[in-house]
């Protein structure tokens, strides 16, 4: 390497991407389309339009255009908190004593605390452009809800967030951040929707679920004039917006002539992983380069490593279309002891198809091992990582330690999606030694898969 590599590589503003990259365009075998559960027909723009903004529907179904222009207004917003740094983990390398070169793309330096803002601002922009009054969504842990609140505040859109009731009560800080950005945050199930009232009547005292919150948000969007529903992961459009992560990463690496051997990302619904790896997978698809790509998921919610690749509902409430994806079954709910996000029963159709084609591999890791990696990383790299991101840290450390054994100086790049400031209950459990692991049994997974609708 001729140029000395700094601790942090920041791109100049003019080096930031002007187009998102749509990896579907380079896939010979495309991800399977969303289908209507009633008619079993592929969903068209017209089918999706009552729920999503029109331009987002088009992006959702666009399998042909490799590059889609990032509107100037979104690029202006990106300049407020992007480019995010690509960090050389010199201190971690030293602490591990590894010959590996480790880099991470850090998406946590914005108030939403994660990469979610990259898609939230895009979805809010198209809603505003369409002349809508507002959007609705659900949030569990609150990262997505916070990102959407920030985006809506910027474009002066009404933002209605249905927050799973137990999170609403246990995470009052996340709720206050959203309120500070002007969002209306409603504990779900609420008395404001039909499905909410029904849930409250049928299960008095229920603390809610993500499935129910999705159903409430969709109902609220379709019943209010000038509203649409938005979603922070899984969808093709979200992965498209998140490609800004991978594009910046690639530009930063190219600037210093660095070629990664391995790219690692955590995977829940696939938004971060899909965004980070898109341009690299594109090179693999076009035969221009090869990389080892690893999706890391929690052992307590192992959709890629233990799920089936079938059509399933996107939500537990079964109000959304069917998607073909690696899934544990839409009735699967990870154990309550599982901290943080990455709780989704399925996986983005794009990631699922890439995995099925063997272009990426997957690994599952247990919770206490994840927090052990998180603590080690925090202590030497000075960033307290989100539990989600720490799944990628765990595997990056494992791979770097393998290099120590073999003496190989591999170049490892991983996605550090966010910070853990709102996850201190989980860190506290780890600090106290009361955190435990849970791995679902084969019988549990078989039982929820048995409820997947037949093809």
Tell whether residue 181 is a contact of a copy of itself (CB under 8 A). Answer: yes
Beta strand extents in 250-331 (DSSP E only): 262-266, 292-298, 308-313, 322-327
> Binder to a copy of itself among 48, 177, 267, 350 (CB under 8 A)?
177
Print the binding letters for residues 261-300 with a copy of itself: x by CB under 8 A, - otherwise.
----------------------------------------
Q: In whole angstroms, what is the distance from residue 301 CA to residue 268 CA?
A: 9
> Binder to a copy of itself among 38, 131, 358, 382 (CB under 8 A)?
382
> Binder to a copy of itself among 55, 138, 219, 381 (CB under 8 A)?
381
> Binder to a copy of itself among 63, 153, 207, 224 (CB under 8 A)?
153
Q: Residue 225: how many CB atoms within 10 A of its CB?
A: 6
> Binder to a copy of itself among 22, 98, 110, 303 (CB under 8 A)?
110
Q: Decide whether 401 or 424 has the Cβ nearer to a copy of itself.
A: 424
Give the closest residue to 414 by CA, choosing from 426, 398, 430.
398
99 CB-contact burial (10 Å; exposed 0-12 / middle 13-18 / buried 19+): middle
- Find the shortest distance in angstroms from Cβ 108 to a copy of itself: 9
Alpha carbon 422 to chain centroid, angstroms: 17
Tell whether residue 315 is a contact of a copy of itself (CB under 8 A). Answer: no
Provide CB contacts within 8 A for 104, sequence distance 6+. 86, 87, 89, 396, 413, 414, 415, 416
Q: Decide whether 31 or 83 has the Cβ nearer to a copy of itself.
A: 83
Tell whether residue 256 is a contact of a copy of itself (CB under 8 A). Answer: no
Tell whether residue 422 is a contact of a copy of itself (CB under 8 A). Answer: yes
| Of residues 423-442, those binding a copy of itself (CB under 8 A) | 424-425, 427-428, 430-431
> Could you tell me the end-to-end alpha-carbon distance of the chain, in angstroms, rounded to an integer?
53
Q: In whole angstroms, what is the distance from residue 293 CA to residue 116 CA?
A: 21
Q: Measuring CA to CA, how many Å separate 186 from each of 154, 158, 162, 171, 193?
A: 21, 13, 5, 13, 11
Q: In whole angstroms, what is the distance from residue 86 CA to residue 185 CA?
A: 34
Q: Which residues sit at the interface with a copy of itself, rule CB under 8 A?
A: 6-8, 10, 12-13, 77, 79-81, 91, 109-111, 113, 117, 150, 153-154, 172-173, 176-177, 179-182, 375, 378-384, 419, 421-422, 424-425, 427-428, 430-431
């Amino acid at each position: 390497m001729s140029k000395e590599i700094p601790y942090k590589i920041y791109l100049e503003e003019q080096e930031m991407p002007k187009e998102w990259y749509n990896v579907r365009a380079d896939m010979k075998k495309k991800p399977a389309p969303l289908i209507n559960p009633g008619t079993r027909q592929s969903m068209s723009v017209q089918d999706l339009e009552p729920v999503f903004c029109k331009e987002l529907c088009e992006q959702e179904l666009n399998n042909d255009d490799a590059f889609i222009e990032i509107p100037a207004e979104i690029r202006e917003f990106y300049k407020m908190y992007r480019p995010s740094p690509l960090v050389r983990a010199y201190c971690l390398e030293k602490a591990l004593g590894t010959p590996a070169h480790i880099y991470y793309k850090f998406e946590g330096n914005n108030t939403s605390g994660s990469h979610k803002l990259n898609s939230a601002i895009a979805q809010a922009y198209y809603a505003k452009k369409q002349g809508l009054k507002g959007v609705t969504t659900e949030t569990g842990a609150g990262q997505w809800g916070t990102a959407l609140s920030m985006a809506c505040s910027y474009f002066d859109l009404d933002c209605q967030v249905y927050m799973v009731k137990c999170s609403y009560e246990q995470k009052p800080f996340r709720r206050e951040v959203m309120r500070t950005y002007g969002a209306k945050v409603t504990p779900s199930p609420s008395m404001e929707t039909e499905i909410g009232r029904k849930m409250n009547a049928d299960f008095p005292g229920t603390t809610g679920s993500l499935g129910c919150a999705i159903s409430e948000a969709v109902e609220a969007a379709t019943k209010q004039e000038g509203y649409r529903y938005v979603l922070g992961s899984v969808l093709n459009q979200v992965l498209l917006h998140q490609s800004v992560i991978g594009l910046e990463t690639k530009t930063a690496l190219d600037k210093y002539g660095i070629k990664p051997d391995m790219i690692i990302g955590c995977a829940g619904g696939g938004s971060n992983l899909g965004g980070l790896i898109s341009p690299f997978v594109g090179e693999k698809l076009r035969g221009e380069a090869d990389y080892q790509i690893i999706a890391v998921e929690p052992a307590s919610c192992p959709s890629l490593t233990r799920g089936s690749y079938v059509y399933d509902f996107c939500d537990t409430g079964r109000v959304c279309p069917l998607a073909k994806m690696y899934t544990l079954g839409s009735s699967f709910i990870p154990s309550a002891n599982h901290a943080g996000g990455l709780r989704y029963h399925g996986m983005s159709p794009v990631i699922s198809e890439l995995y099925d084609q063997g272009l990426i591999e997957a690994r599952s890791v247990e919770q206490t091992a994840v927090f052990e990696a998180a603590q080690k990383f925090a202590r030497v790299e000075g960033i307290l990582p989100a539990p989600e991101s720490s799944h990628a840290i765990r595997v990056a450390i494992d791979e770097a330690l393998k290099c120590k054994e073999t003496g190989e100086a591999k170049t490892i790049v991983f996605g550090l999606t966010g910070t853990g400031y709102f996850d201190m209950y989980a860190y506290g459990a780890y600090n106290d030694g009361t955190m435990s692991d849970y791995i679902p049994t084969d019988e549990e997974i078989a039982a929820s898969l048995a409820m997947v609708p037949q093809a």
